[in-house]
Amino acid sequence: MEPYNKFAEVYDKVGCLNFSEKILPYLYQLLERYSFKGKKVLDLACGTGELALKLAKDGFEVMGLDRSAPMLEKAKEKAQREGLHIPYLHSDMRDFLLPHKVDLVTCLFDSINYILRYDELETVFGNVYRALNPRGMFIFDMNTIFGLSCGWDDKKTGEDLGDVAVIWDYSWNAEVRLATLEVTVFQKRGNIYRKFKEVHKERGYDPKNVAKALRRKGLEILDRFKCMGFAKPRKDTQRVIYICRRLPDGS
């Protein structure tokens, strides 16, 4: 089963919104730090649209893009409830075109790690370049190799939220730097629980290779920080945020 298919039904209930709530004030700090003045934003891999919704409420012209139709349905429902017009595009970050260019592309909550091949990572970065206005910004985060190796390393956890129970089963293949998460969900429907499973995979990338791919596709790294702060990443940093800018044509 494709990731974020049936899981879309319970995504907001199992704590996945916490990251969006934490990242927004941090994102604004980053934008202020780099004197961002634009208004048009693309939230890549937008999920159920929580970040896009918050940005739209704050006056940005936001589009959201995701490959999961069920996640986008949840995002559209939220926008409608708030009376906001947010265009949502059902597409893959490896192959998309926008109706117009934007000033900022965000891709958060380790969505880039879901790109499992280096050539496809370059493709994503090339698509971002084409989506950005000149000097536009690209902000994304990634789980580091260290973060995946210790956070996803052969462990199983679970939580019971009443009408939803979830088992998270993690594994890590150090040889190919591939993390796998098998999610088992028990969702209450009336007096019975419906069970379904999804498998999520993330690739750990060497920062040097990420920088090379960005540069090859016309994006310069302005900074890298330990996510949620402004400290430089260390060997034991688990999540890194990249702040990038589109280079002028022909650079």
Give pLDDT tens digits for 181-191.
999 999 988 88
Domain count, the chain: 2
Question: What pLDDT shows up at residue 251?
Answer: 60
The dihedral of CA 27, 213, 124, 145: what is its sign? negative
Distance CA 238, CA 227 (A): 8
pLDDT above 70 (res 250): no
Instruction: Specify if 97 maps to a domain.
Output: yes
35-91 pLDDT, tens digit per residue, is 999 999 999 999 999 999 999 999 999 999 999 999 999 999 999 999 999 999 999
Q: How confident is the model at residue 14 (pLDDT cuts 50, 70, 90)?
A: confident
Taking the model in full, what pTM does it have?
0.96
User: Does residue 6 or residue 168 have the better pLDDT?
Assistant: 168
Instruction: Specify if 49 maps to a domain.
Output: yes
Query: What's the 3-state SS for 189-209?
Result: ECCEEEEEEEEEEEECCCHHH
Instruction: Specify if 251 maps to a domain.
Output: no
Distance CA 188, CA 10 (A): 11
Instruction: Specify if 56 maps to a domain.
Output: yes
Q: What is the CATH number of the domain that holds 35?
A: 3.40.50.150
